[in-house]
A and B are shown apart, each in its own frame.
Chain A
Amino acid sequence: MEERFRLNEEFNNFSDFLDFHYPFGKVPKGWTKPPHNQYGFPLPEINQDNAINILTLGDSCTEGEHYEAQQKYPGVAANLLSDHYGCKVGNWNFGLGGGSYDFITRTLMCGLDHLRPDVVIITFPTVTRRELFKKNGRRIRLDMSTVISVGMGLVNPIEESRYYYNLWPAIDSHFDDTVNVIKNFKVIEWALNSRNVIWGYAVVGYSEVQEAVETCRDSNWMSGEKYMGFDFDVLDQVSETDVHPGLESHKSYGERIANWLIDNHGSQLEVLVQESE
């Protein structure tokens, strides 16, 4: 399982490291196995030749690795919008297993001006997941559920990663996670608002994640203005042993996103369609 997150990149110096993880004006590399596009994400090469381009960001729930692109919620939403407006809609699904607030911010901060999406939908993952860089500069995602899985032998990390999983429990703190969330969110909010991108957010539909984000919103340090008002509810799951959202969940969430966009940003989307004709 942990192998999915390894790119085996090498860095001779800090400059190489920045070029790889923080390539300002480009898209930071995703970490899926081939086949993937030039950015390392499991989707075709980005095609700007659409009336509306939708960038979706999130974790494994958004990636939906078991399903075809059209079955996952970004594909469901894109198809419905395409039918509604009678135009081509780009489905740029940048969800990745192990994705975190840090990863989403990094992707937008570096890649937004390069990708120039018309719409961004973010489905935020667990607040407890953090992105750190190991002594060799390779990325590692750290959260307690992974640490527990490692401890139970369900995940077998390479030795260099085991070191970090062993250290993490001592400093895992929900207060620190909360601060990380509101800081990341503020940067995301500014990046998208300042470019007049149509955007909305929700969270993965697990109660502890919903409660944690609600905490941040209640505090008045995280805006609820762009919250779509619903989350990625887990109506069914991939299998008895895989708790990721199943096909019915993807369909329902994709439909709600399409309806939310039509109801709240219909006139802006119509302008985009007219401009493309």
Chain B
Amino acid sequence: MKFFSKSLVDFPHKYFPNGNMPKVNLSCDPTNKFGYRCREFDDRGDVNILFLGDEWSLGESLDFGLIYSSLVCEKLSAQCGFGVHGFNLSHRDKGYDYISRTIWCALRTLNPDFVFICFPDMSRREYFALNGRCIDFSPAKASAIAEKRVKVNRIERELIGTMRDLYTRFDEPINALKNYVLIEALMSETGIPWAVSVNGNNAANEHLALMFEKKLFNKERFMDFTFDLIDVAPDNETPGVKSHEVFGNQLFTWLCDNMPSIRRIK
């Protein structure tokens, strides 16, 4: 009788569910049954692509059809003549921890044909608190809380304040590296093709060149273009329509040129 044992209670099942995707709570509307800004997971196309990133890739203040994941799938569908369905699992304020966790869950449940990741800031983390809740940490959020620009409850304020004092400039990229290696492990194990780009800002790019040089990140996985902030969305923070259009076109061309299966269809 293990049902009520400590061992089952102590695992964060909500964030690592078996046989399902973890539910998220995005502020944009509409979302699917699991809270992601994409079609329902059982609404599968002939080709199914996962997109992962942060608020840049989510584009929550833009129309759904104007974000790069929608543009890429629309163009690929038109080119191929059959349904290419995109599942955008991007999430505001998240980083490498969220991306590795979500890919892990998605590979067990969604069976994608291709996975695209647009990496955000390396300093963001997920922390699983004693009550089992996932708390998003970033130095920027910690500053905003300390300066009372963002309101959170007392426990979250103390936890984030402690993390700000504890984590160093060395820990941040190392956490990103550990998650990158995990993603590489997960993707290699399944054999599903995947590729990576990064947000075109300093926070995302700062250590990349060094990680490539030291062979800690596999440069071949990274596209030679980044998601650049050419214009700004109505939220005054994330990439605007033009930025999504340019990045979507680059990604579409890259997929046509580099993905054997898509090239064959083409």
Contacts and interface: CB of A to CB of B under 8 A. Distances in A.
A187 B178 contact: yes
B127 A211 contact: no
Interface string A88-111: 000000000000001001000100
B216 A18 contact: yes
B165 A167 contact: yes
A182 interface: yes
Contacts of A168: 166
Contacts of B132: 175
Interface in B133-172: 158-159, 162-163, 165-171
Interface stretch (A79-87, A216-224, A232-240): A216-224
A100 to B, nearest CB: 12
Contacts of B10: 174-175, 178, 212, 215
A25 B214 CA distance: 10
B182 A18 contact: no
B162 A187 contact: no
Contacts of B128: 173, 175-176, 178-179
A213 to B, nearest CB: 9
A220 B104 CA distance: 12
A186 B166 contact: no
A39 to B, nearest CB: 18
B130 A175 contact: yes
Contacts of B182: 183, 186-187
Interface residues of B, number: 48
Nearest to B7: A215
Given A137-B170, A218-B11, A22 B214 contact: yes
B129 A105 contact: no
A219 B16 contact: yes
A17 interface: yes
Interface in A12-26: 14-15, 17-19, 21-22, 24-25
B162 A170 contact: yes
Interface string A186-220: 11011100100000000000000001101110111
Interface in A109-157: 109, 132-135, 137
A216 B207 contact: no
Contacts of B158: 170
A194 to B, nearest CB: 6
A167 B210 contact: no
A5 interface: no
Nearest to B128: A175
B127 A18 contact: no
A24 B188 CA distance: 19
A18 B212 CA distance: 12
B18 A220 contact: yes
A158 interface: no
Contact of A176 (B127, B174, B215): B127
Contacts of A135: 168-170
A215 B6 CA distance: 8
A133 B173 CA distance: 11
Contacts of B15: 179
A18 B210 contact: yes
Given A18-B216, A176-B129, A221-B16, A167 B170 contact: no
B11 A216 contact: yes
Contacts of B241: none
Interface in B1-51: 2, 6-8, 10-13, 15-16, 18
Given A25-B215, A183-B178, A171 B166 contact: yes
A216 B185 CA distance: 18
Given A174-B10, A174-B130, A183-B182, A132 B216 contact: no
A170 B188 contact: no
A260 interface: no
Scoring B126, B185, B188, B213 by chain A CB atoms within 10 A of each residue's CB, the highest score goes to B185
A182 B105 CA distance: 13
Scoring A18, A105, A134 by chain B CB atoms within 10 A of each residue's CB, the highest score goes to A18
Contacts of B167: 132
Interface of B: 2, 6-8, 10-13, 15-16, 18, 100-101, 104, 126-130, 132, 158-159, 162-163, 165-171, 173-174, 177-179, 181-182, 185-186, 188-189, 207, 210, 213-216
19 contacts: A14-B169, A15-B210, A15-B213, A22-B214, A24-B215, A132-B167, A132-B171, A137-B170, A175-B129, A179-B128, A186-B186, A190-B188, A190-B189, A194-B189, A211-B6, A212-B10, A215-B10, A218-B11, A219-B18
Interface of A: 14-15, 17-19, 21-22, 24-25, 102, 105, 109, 132-135, 137, 164, 167-168, 170-171, 173-176, 178-179, 182-184, 186-187, 189-191, 194, 211-212, 214-216, 218-221
